[in-house]
Amino acid sequence: MDNINDLKALLGTPRDIVITTHRNPDGDAMGSSLGLYHFLNKGGHTVRVITPSEYPEAFAWMPDAERITIYDLDPEYSEELVGRADLIFCLDFNALDRIDKLGELVGPAKAEKVMIDHHLYPEGFADFVLSDTSASSTCELVFDFVHLLGQEQELDDVIGACLFTGIITDTGSFRYSTSPKLYRTVANLVELGVDDYKVQDYINNSLREKHLKLLGHCLNNRMEILPEYHTGIIYLTKKDYEDFDIQRGDTEGIVNYLLKVKEVKMAAFITEQPTIVKISLRSKGDFSVQEIARKHFKGGGHQNASGGFSFQPLEVTLKRFKALLPQYKSKLEATTV
């Protein structure tokens, strides 16, 4: 961030600040938003977090999560908050369409905008940009941002627990997107008093009975392994959503079970939504699912974790995805894990 001193000067006076993040917020979106929220509150600012949609129940434990304003539930208050903001922090997304209708408010807002994000190809809507695609998570970048401001002494165990949440979820509990720098960051968070065991327990051991039944259904009835393409697929129909009463966040992490199969190097989780079919892609090694999501499914993301969507029916989308596999077969075979 070349103009960090200008932003530091803006933050030197108490401001009305809005923090927002992408639709269907995951652990990194929630952790970075609430971590930055607690940090900015300590600076005397008036801070509000707005998410486009509801967050998963698994993150309800996070300090002050209940104070988040959800645009889908309260669009008028969200518009009021954005309208009076002096600064808007845009976390864990790089394009305004990632926040849906909220983007129509943020884009033309009078407020200065700050993007902190680790996704490829950031759009140029922000006045201040901290973008690093090599970072494990936006939470790691929020930690860096505090240090860039020279205010690392303001970090504490509450902020640290929020940031640790995003790091854990975006790295799959340190299975990917790791670096020596990341481990130094995590060591710093633990030194601040973060109870890493408790945070992992909140994140990973908060399932209900229906979640295990859904997982069993996915693995037993909705999984297909294509060994010739080193690919695994799990799909869910609208009826599955009704039968298992699937709510926001209930399917989080299911796609990763496919990568537990030794020969699988690419995993696809394809779900039938009310108006679209959603595609979540994961991969091992140096195989890029970001390219597939971007070129074929109007999406994007990271090399090993990306997503997109299709307006075609589920059955057609499944056939279309499988038809793509032959052109990626040689890359998948050459991928080292």
Q: Largest alpha-carbon pair distance within the chain?
A: 60
Report residue 156's pLDDT band, with 50, 70 and 90 as the boundaries.
very high
Which CATH architecture best describes the domain 4-204? Answer: Alpha-Beta Complex (3.90)
Q: Position 114: which residue type?
A: V
Beta-bridge partners for 226:
231
CATH fold group of domain 209-334: Diaminopimelate Epimerase; Chain A, domain 1 (3.10.310)
Alpha helices in the chain (DSSP H): 4-10, 27-42, 75-84, 101-106, 138-148, 157-170, 180-191, 196-204, 209-221, 238-243, 289-296, 314-334
Q: What is the pLDDT of residue 303?
A: 87
The tens digit of pLDDT for each residue in 278-328 reads 999 999 999 999 999 999 999 888 888 899 999 999 999 999 999 999 999
pLDDT above 70 as % of the chain? 100
The predicted structure's pLDDT at residue 204? 87
Mean pLDDT of 144-170: 97
Per mean pLDDT, which range of 43-47, 136-140, 250-254 is the poorest? Answer: 250-254
Mean pLDDT in the chain? 95
pLDDT in tens, 9-52: 999 999 999 999 999 899 999 999 999 999 999 999 999 999 99
Region for residue 187 given its phi and psi (left: phi exceeds 0; alpha: psi -120 to 50; beta: otherwise): alpha
Q: Other C-beta atoms within 10 Å of 59: how many? A: 25
- The Cα–Cα gap between 37 and 40 comes to 5
User: In CATH terms, are 4-204 and 209-334 the same topology?
Assistant: no
Res 175: pLDDT = 85
What is the structure's pLDDT at 121?
Answer: 84
pLDDT at 106: 97
The band of 207, judged by pLDDT with boundaries at 50, 70 and 90, is confident
DSSP secondary structure letter of residue 45: -
Provide the residue ranges of all domains of the chain, joining segments of one domain with +: 4-204, 209-334
Q: Which residue has the tokens 């989780």?
A: 269
pLDDT of residue 283: 95
**N-to-C CA span, the chain:** 34
